[in-house]
Chain A
């Protein structure tokens, strides 16, 4: 596995214990998989996305990414309703490995309680968390 010091973890993002990143954009949140997650999973060959309008609880499974013969669950960082999905990932799942923070955003969603975002880990807390894994 990547050494914690080698993980690319942008400063301006928040992170979850299940290795998703989240970024506030207006009153919505954009999220995807962290560098730790994509490194752990290996080459992603398939992404199963939810439908726009679906609602999930924070920590609830809402998508799966498949590396060869392994389906892994992805969790919504906080309670919310999906407003957009990155359909690009259906045709180019490898973006999750190549561009986890830019091209491979997974969904955009409207949080039920915008303040929940502040409870997500900041980068230094998350880096420490990854080191303890």
Chain B
């Protein structure tokens, strides 16, 4: 049993959140991992919140309200390109994920955090905004269309699911993402919405490593948590050991 699942550990670390960088992880694999961690968080044998930070290989995902009608390309063509379409339970509709996009999946007990769902969404947007500023981009909010925007272009999207007060899924911020696949959909069901990235707006090359580092410290700041990094392998082994 990995250390962080132990019964008697952590009782002095109420405000510690574990930060796990998973690198490039297939969407379906990441979803299965989230489901397992959520179950453990609900049961209480995982006593701390966890943030998974990762990138996905190219994939289209549908939200709880579907979104397949917003796909403007023949699904058979996607299949030929080896791009999966995955149904998920997160809030929202269709979106695209691909390398160069920072994904944060916070697995958080909102009741323990004492945070309403709306405020949690708001804090995730704030994280994307502050993170972007570090890299010279100043996005804004649109209360009617959640996410973060640079002018009329969308820089970051979010969608969560809440199971017995534990939130999972999270946000996707375009750092250096290839934006072409977004043209094959109406992202989030919004027609005429163009996507953008930190690299595109700042006209600079941006590596993922410093973005991850900043995201980790901003998360701690915004949610009042001490961040402790765990290796992906220990968590992955821990989450799958029941299988």
Contacts and interface: CB of A to CB of B under 8 A. Distances in A.
B2 interface: no
A122 interface: no
A43 to B, nearest CB: 8
B159 A69 contact: yes
Interface string B104-134: 0000001100101110110000000000000
B116 A73 contact: no
A68 to B, nearest CB: 6
A70 B116 contact: no
A46 B65 CA distance: 8
Contacts of B147: 69
Interface stretch (A3-11, A23-31, A34-42, A113-121): A34-42
Nearest to A1: B116
B164 A69 contact: no
Contact of B117 (A41, A64, A73): A41
Interface residues of B, number: 26
Contact of A71 (B63, B116, B165): B63
A64 B91 CA distance: 10
Contacts, number: 68
A18 interface: yes
B70 to A, nearest CB: 16
A133 B111 contact: yes
B158 A71 contact: no
B92 interface: yes
B65 A72 contact: no
A64 B92 CA distance: 12
B164 A73 contact: yes
B163 A70 contact: no
A73 B147 CA distance: 22
A48 interface: yes
A87 interface: no
A69 B110 CA distance: 15
Q: Which 4 A-B pairs have CB atoms at the shortest separation, nearest pair first? A: A42-B118, A71-B64, A72-B162, A71-B91
Interface of A: 1, 18, 39-43, 46, 48, 61, 64, 66-73, 75, 133
29 contacts: A40-B116, A40-B117, A41-B116, A41-B117, A41-B118, A42-B117, A42-B118, A43-B118, A46-B65, A66-B91, A67-B118, A68-B118, A69-B121, A69-B147, A69-B159, A70-B91, A70-B117, A70-B118, A70-B167, A71-B64, A71-B89, A71-B91, A71-B159, A71-B160, A72-B117, A72-B161, A72-B162, A73-B163, A133-B111
